[in-house]
Amino acid sequence: MKISRFNFGKTMPSSNALLFLFSGTFFPYLLPILFSQESSVSNYIWTTDHMHVGVRWQPFGFPKCEEYDANRPVLKEHSSYAQFWVSWNAAEPNPKNTDYSTNMSGYLKAIDHAVNLC
Mean pLDDT of 53-81: 79
Q: Shortest CA distance to 86 belongs to which of 66, 63, 62, 115? A: 115
pLDDT at 103: 93
Band of pLDDT at residue 112, cut at 50, 70 and 90? confident
- By DSSP bridging, strand 54-56 and strand 81-83 are parallel
Domain-wise residue ranges, the chain: 54-117
CA distances from 21 to 7, 32, 69 (A): 20, 19, 62
Mean pLDDT of 82-93: 83
Burial (Cβ within 10 Å: 0-12, 13-18, ≥19) of residue 59: buried
Q: How far apart are CA 62 and CA 29, in angstroms?
A: 59
Which carries the bigger pLDDT value, residue 25 or residue 106?
Answer: 106
The sign of the dihedral angle between the CA atoms of 24, 25, 29, 31 is negative
Q: What's the pTM? A: 0.47
Does pLDDT of 9 surpass 90? no
